Amino acid sequence: MGAHPKDKRHPRFGHLPLATSGPQECALTGVALLRAPYLNKGSAFTPEERKEFKLHGLLPPNVQTLDEQVQRAYQQYSSRPNDLAKNTFMTSLKEQNVVLYYKLIEEHLKEMFSVIYTPTEGEAIANYSRLFRRPEGCFLNIEDQDRVDDNIAQWGNSEDIDLIVVSDGEQILGIGDQGVGGILISVAKLTIYTLCAGIHPSRTLPVVLDCGTNNEELQNDELYLGLRRPRVRGEEYDAFVDTFVQACRKNYPKAYIHFEDFGLPNARRILDKYTPKIACFNDDVQGTGCVTLAAIMAAINVSKVKYEDLRVLCFGAGTAGTGIADQIMDAIALETDKSKEEAGKQIWCVDKPGLLLKSKKDELTPAQLPFARDDAELKDKNHNDLVSIIEEVKPHALIGTSTKPKSFTEEAIREMAKHVERPIILPLSNPTKLHEAHPDDLFKWTDGKALIATGSPFLQSSTMAQSTKWVTECNNSTTFPGIGLGAILSRTRLMSPPLLVAATKALAAQAPALKDPKAGLLPDVTDVREISVKIAKAVIQASIKEGLNEEKEIPEDEEDLEEWIREQMWDAAYRPLKKVEHDGASSHAKGEQGTGSARRGGS
Ligand SMILES: NC(=O)c1ccc[n+]([C@@H]2O[C@H](COP(=O)([O-])OP(=O)(O)OC[C@H]3O[C@@H](n4cnc5c(N)ncnc54)[C@H](O)[C@@H]3O)[C@@H](O)[C@H]2O)c1
Ligand SMILES: O=C(O)C[C@H](O)C(=O)O
Ligand SMILES: [Mn+2]
């Protein structure tokens, strides 16, 4: 099984390494074809296809269009009584017909985004072992380390996989240890990659590393599907992660690895270990850092605060909080003539014990250390209480990644609003129930002056901010798809800092608030495919500048480059099927190998 069929639409680009249109090779017929989600068209199989692929008698006679199928599927979706039921409906639709699944979401993106992703996906993950019907993705477990290479190898040939999303399930959103259910965050992030950046869905692989779980509820749940043992730590854990990474490198040398929702003790460590060696990315550290910095860039443009004056308070200094602090520190250093150390002094971090202090440096993580303050700084004031800290620091921006709901109290926010004209407030803890504050309250307590973005989507109900229909969402989903697209198309050897800076600037340049101060700090999800093109372009250009691109035939001209990117984005449309003889390769776990494009979860 080899490369994708060449795209015939734009012969002007001779070289399209990931061309995604053109006929799809198909070795299946009859029931097997109807059960292959990447090839199945259901009632949309044409009369010719029905004849050629032996589908007569297996389908009712009326041939339908994709739009008609979308209409029916939407009615079925709408009849489901709640969001979780809608989420499971979508999961089964994907198991039947991948094109229809993506087309349906595309048509109802705004409505469905929160159902297939945060926050409802969090509920699906928490109930994984109860809702389980059919596995999707690759399950690796620490008791079977010898099988890791075989398990990874079964998804295709070396050119077949571009993108791997992996989680060990320890810190899922803010809902903590979900063990093997973490597979669903890998699946959901990949859905977003396809939807928002056109990454070919069958060229991706979701993985969970099951290392046990410390979640007692799961351990005691007789239906729990994962390893029923406490989480493995230390050398054995590190060796397992390394075995996984090496198996990926060996079997799919070009694949880009995205780490998601690892626990605090491991997330940053793993990222730091592999960043100098392979093209990899941690979404909670880097994706979140980029999107939050872009929101802040837009906000200070509105509030006219200069980088050299900016004061930021990060409430919650774990994986996401320190990732954000790092990106802001780098931006301040870049935009002023300050050293990183000096720039870091403009950022205050608070965690469970209060303000991070130098006197307690033994208790701090390496990522927290650069932000520890001198003890004398808050004089006799209370280091533990958010209101006192705000009173002292007078932050322009307050960012929540604490998982502590309602921790931005009325008193704290009113205190903040006393000192700055336009408080920038970003409650980012997901899912929605963990947000540090509700946007309506934030508008109320600041007389509508707050510049707000939230980690999960909110319907705008406030009368204070009617200029925008929705409160802007500040979720890494605006950045990671475009960054991944750029990484894959350039085949960057590493995801080095200049590539992330370029991505952030490309996103910030698209902020609606730049044109209209009353508009959102970040672009809306409905625009995300075009935003991904801009981000991917910036990443590709930065990769070339850094000499990291293994893909050499990339157009130089800006417009050509954008078009070249667009041409390679997969979209939800039925492609003609081209009959091929079975080549025996369908022993791959994707089930439909040897058919012109790789896929998983097949017949
Ligand atoms: N919006 C986004 O794009 C985005 C991205 C990543 C993470 N998040 C959210 O951020 C939250 C944290 O994720 P993470 O991966 O950094 O988790 P983490 O466990 O690494 O970090 C959470 C930190 O908050 C601290 N904390 C807990 N209670 C606190 C309190 N009362 N006061 C101050 N600090 C407290 C913890 O000690 C820890 O350091 C989650 O809810 C996650 O969903 C949002
Ligand atoms: O998954 C999300 O919605 C964003 C982020 O990665 C998180 O962990 O909350
Ligand atoms: Mn995450």
Dist CA 248 CA 460 (whole Å): 43
Q: Could you tell me which residues come within 8 angstroms of residue 142 by beta carbon, excluding any fewer than 6 positions away?
A: 209, 210, 211, 212, 227, 232, 236, 237, 240
Report d(CA 375, CA 373) in Å as an integer.
Answer: 6
Q: Is 126 in the pocket of ligand 1 (CB under 6 A)?
A: no
Query: How many angstroms does the Cα of residue 416 sit away from the middle of ligand 2?
Result: 27
Q: For residue 416, give the H/E element and its range.
A: helix 410-419
Amino acid letter at 76?
Q
Cα three-residue angle 541-547-549, rounded to 5 degrees? 65
Q: What are the tokens at 217?
A: 């509820």
Residue 405 burial (10 A CB sphere; 0-12, 13-18, 19+): middle
CA dihedral 96, 574, 157, 95 (to 10 degrees): -10
- Does this complex have an ipTM over 0.95? yes
Q: Which two tokens stand for residue 160?
A: 């077949």
**Side chain identity at residue 163, one-letter code:** L
Rounded to the nearest angstrom, the gap between the alpha carbon of residue 58 and the centroid of all alpha carbons in its chain is 38
* Segment (H or E) for 83: helix 83-96
Active site residue 189: yes
Using DSSP, state whether 206 is helix, strand or coil: strand
State the Cα–Cα distance between residues 77 and 74, nearest whole angstrom.
Answer: 5
In the DSSP assignment, the letter for residue 283 is I
How far is residue 386's CA from residue 388's CA, in Å, rounded to a whole number? Answer: 6
Residues of the chain with pLDDT under 50: 1-8, 463, 467-469, 584-587, 591-603
For ligand 1, whether the C-beta of 474 sits within 6 Å is yes
Q: Which of 38, 101, 117, 128 is catalytic?
A: 117
Determine the pLDDT at residue 594. Answer: 35
Q: What is the pLDDT of residue 599?
A: 37
Ligand number, closest to the Cα atom of 402: 1
Atom 7, ligand 2: residue with shortest CA distance:
173
Residue 587, judged by CB atoms within 10 A of its CB (0-12, 13-18, 19+), counts as: exposed
- Which neighbouring-strand residues pair with 24? 577
Residue 30 in 3-state DSSP? helix
E strand intervals along 324-396: 347-351, 354-355
- 179 and 220 Cβ atoms separated by less than 8 Å: no
In angstroms, what is the span from residue 449 Cα to ligand 1's centroid?
26
Assess whether 574 carries a catalytic annotation.
no
d(CA 343, CA 406): 29
CA atoms within 13 A on the CB side of 321: 30
Q: Which atom of ligand 1 is nearest to the CA of 454?
A: 1
Ligand 2, from 475, 483, 522, 528: best to mutate by most atoms within 8 Å of Cβ?
Answer: 475
Q: What is the maximum alpha-carbon separation in the chain?
A: 83
Distance from residue 3's CA to the centre of ligand 2 (Å): 33
Considering the candidates 86, 94, 189, 537, report the single residue annotated as catalytic.
189
C-alpha span between 211 and 98 (Å, rounded): 31
- Altogether, the residues listed in the chain come to a count of 603
pLDDT tens for residues 536-595?
999 999 999 999 999 999 999 999 999 999 999 999 999 999 999 875 444 466 544 333
Distance 114 CA to ligand 2 centre (A): 12
pTM above 0.90, yes or no: yes
Which of 121, 195, 283, 432 should be mutated for ligand 2, with most atoms under 8 A from CB? 283
